[in-house]
Chains A and B, each alone.
Chain A
């Protein structure tokens, strides 16, 4: 049974560029949440998708946007990258109505 998968594993971008990160949820899960984790900090909630719509959003600017596809996979898009966007981006999946979230391995983004 495949767990949560994310791609790519690592990414290097320059300031002002745009990036797209991808996530496939654990089999049987229908809800995807995205988190940003800076070095030495706990994950910070970005947003959550269910039934192809953004259902919840954390304290992140509109430069961060997302999408969920009918097969429940999801994308995180970040526009106009800033140096401060350098972090580990984590995707977590869950089953609607169940609280436990399972995390993928993350995408390490470096903005130069």
Chain B
């Protein structure tokens, strides 16, 4: 496996369900990110973890709960979501040293809330 891998690729869930999205990076990076991508809107940064510590939380509702157990893995735990949460959820990683630090993305989880 190379790059950034996200599972599942598609998820359909009811508003009362609990599920988790998983992200794994094989690039040796030490920062990981969750983004939300909705139609006709720019990518929205949700959470940032650097060296396994959460460093940004962009006013995301508490029904989204991130977890970063180590520098290679990132989870997004979901519970009691709303229909407006239907979107593509993208994970990214970067190396937090040097000036550039480009972010590399996975292919996302397409989430549909019934």
A binds B: no
